[in-house]
Amino acid sequence: MNIYSWNVNGIRSAVKKGFEDWFAATRPDILCLQETRADVDQVPESLQKPEGYYSYWNPCRRKKGYSGVAVFSQIEPDAVNYGFDIEEFDEEGRVVQLVFPDWVLNSIYFPNGGQGDDRLDYKLRFYDAFLDNSRHWLENGKHVVTVGDYNTCHKEIDIARPKENENVSGFLPIERAWMDKYVENGFVDSFRLLHPDTRDAYSWWSNRFGARSRNVGWRLDYAFVDAGLVPNIVNSEIHPSVMGSDHCPISIELEPPFPPQPISPTNSID
């Protein structure tokens, strides 16, 4: 099962840059999009309900043309959630969650903390709400797969200029510490698991100063799974040659069926 994730930085813009051709050629089992920045009726009919896919759109309710996520799945879920049932987070259209019999898939556009202390606080509280939600599913016997734009580089290996950016949101110690906590709670970065020493592997580049052509980037997009799914990981990749956004797609391949997830209290770390 192939799952792709891509922050398209505006689906209408991406369509003009060949998104639909890429989608038709790639045809993943599930495609998760972030930062769609559009209501569903603003995109071509061919993308509102792509042939062969169930489609789920969650635009931002608070502000037009801002954030937004979508998922196209060839597999019909048992249920779909559009957030964590917390209004201040759900109104920004950052989550589509598909619930399957044995697992849950999250497509998430995590907040950017670079617009002042209030937004950094919002980002960190969003992270904690997400972790609580993930614990809930584990405690109820379901595996958890979360793809999307996490808006944080975890380690120095994940960013081209670590020293220059240590005081910039997206690489702040407090943001990276939350990523540490996430891992300590039993979640695994699939790309780094399979490519522990790979450098210069980024998924976002500034539009300034030719950053992409020089590969001066950040790895902001991840595919995390709970530790119980590690044996099912076949592949996890970044696709920097795919253009159309300031981010590139990432992908994870998982081999079903998934092993049973024990129903027991989570050994969480706060």
Q: Which CATH number is 209's domain given? A: 3.60.10.10
User: What one-character DSSP code corresponds to residue 247?
Assistant: B
What does the pLDDT read at residue 63?
85
CA 72 to chain centre: 14
Judge contact between 221 and 246, C-beta under 8 A.
Answer: no
Task: State whether the Cα torsion 219-225-231-235 is positive or negative.
Answer: negative
Structural domain boundaries enclosing 238: 2-254
What does the pLDDT read at residue 24?
97
What does the pLDDT read at residue 269?
66
Tell me the pLDDT band of 101, cut-offs 50, 70 and 90: very high
Does residue 269 sit within a domain?
Answer: no
What does the pLDDT read at residue 261?
86
Burial class (CB in 10 A: 0-12, 13-18, 19+), 157: middle
Q: Note the pLDDT tens digit of each residue in 157-209.
A: 999 999 999 999 999 999 999 999 999 999 999 999 999 999 999 999 999 99
Tell me the pLDDT band of 156, cut-offs 50, 70 and 90: very high
Does residue 264 sit within a domain?
Answer: no
As a whole number, mean pLDDT of residues 50-55 equals 97
Does residue 244 sit within a domain?
Answer: yes
What does the pLDDT read at residue 267?
54
As a whole number, mean pLDDT of residues 72-78 equals 98
Looking at per-residue confidence, does 263 or 145 come out higher? 145
pTM, to two decimals: 0.96
| Long-range contacts formed by 210-216: CB under 8 A, 24+ apart | 212/246, 215/160, 215/240, 216/160, 216/161
Judge contact between 93 and 69, C-beta under 8 A.
Answer: yes
What does the pLDDT read at residue 240?
98
Tell me the pLDDT band of 51, cut-offs 50, 70 and 90: very high
Does residue 263 sit within a domain?
Answer: no
DSSP 103-159: EEEEEEEPPP--S-HHHHHHHHHHHHHHHHHHHHHHHTT-EEEEEEE-S---SGGGB
Does residue 195 sit within a domain?
Answer: yes
Does residue 262 sit within a domain?
Answer: no
Tell me the pLDDT band of 212, cut-offs 50, 70 and 90: very high
The count of domains in the chain is 1
Distance CA 126, CA 86 (A): 10
What does the pLDDT read at residue 262?
82
What does the pLDDT read at residue 249?
99
As a whole number, mean pLDDT of residues 65-80 equals 97
Does residue 267 sit within a domain?
Answer: no
The residues assigned a catalytic role are: 149
What does the pLDDT read at residue 115?
81
As a whole number, mean pLDDT of residues 87-101 equals 97
Looking at per-residue confidence, does 261 or 268 come out higher? 261
Does residue 260 sit within a domain?
Answer: no
Mean pLDDT for the chain overall = 96
What does the pLDDT read at residue 268?
62
Q: Could you tell me the two tokens for 150?
A: 């996490």
